[in-house]
Copies of this chain bind each other. A is one copy, B any other.
Amino acid sequence: MKSHRQELWFNIPSRRAFVNITPQVEAALAASGVAEGLCLVNAMHITASVFINDDESGLHADYEAWLEQLAPHAPTSHYRHNRTGEDNADAHLKRQVMGREVVVAVTKGKLDFGPWEQIFYGEFDGRRKKRVLVKILGE
């Protein structure tokens, strides 16, 4: 059995953004030497997501508007979490809708994807350094 671990680092200049990280995950997979197995990709921070969907900017604008409607950032005083001095309670809620992690099958040394699947880092409280973990298990 082989295992491989890699961190991806981000410092998103805005509060919120979606970044396609598929090339970095593919590079980690190539470095792992795993041909058959499972690839876990997870946000290491609790105000960010890793999810799989379409790389289409209109859709990303729809996600942004929809998440803001489901869990608005303001008024920040609406959230008890923000009494700790934070202003990011909404980011903890948005991340639950989009998810913490994805698990992707590895087949013949490749991410075993359907036609449009791409992996995204979803940032909901940016403007600082944050990480994603890639862990690959197989042989």
Question: Which residues, 92 to 124 on A, are CB-close (under 8 Å) to B?
Answer: 92-93, 95-105, 107, 112-117
- How often does this chain occur in the complex, in copies? 3
Is A37 on the interface with B (CB-CB < 8 A)? yes
23 pairs, A vs B, C-beta closer than 8 Å: A1-B1, A1-B139, A3-B36, A3-B138, A5-B107, A5-B112, A38-B40, A40-B103, A45-B115, A45-B116, A46-B54, A46-B117, A54-B81, A56-B84, A58-B82, A58-B83, A59-B89, A62-B92, A66-B93, A112-B135, A114-B131, A114-B133, A137-B137
- Given known A36-B3, A44-B114, A44-B117, contact A53–B135 (CB-CB < 8 A): no
Nearest opposing residue in chain B for A97, CB measure:
B96
CB <8 Å contact, A135 and B117: no
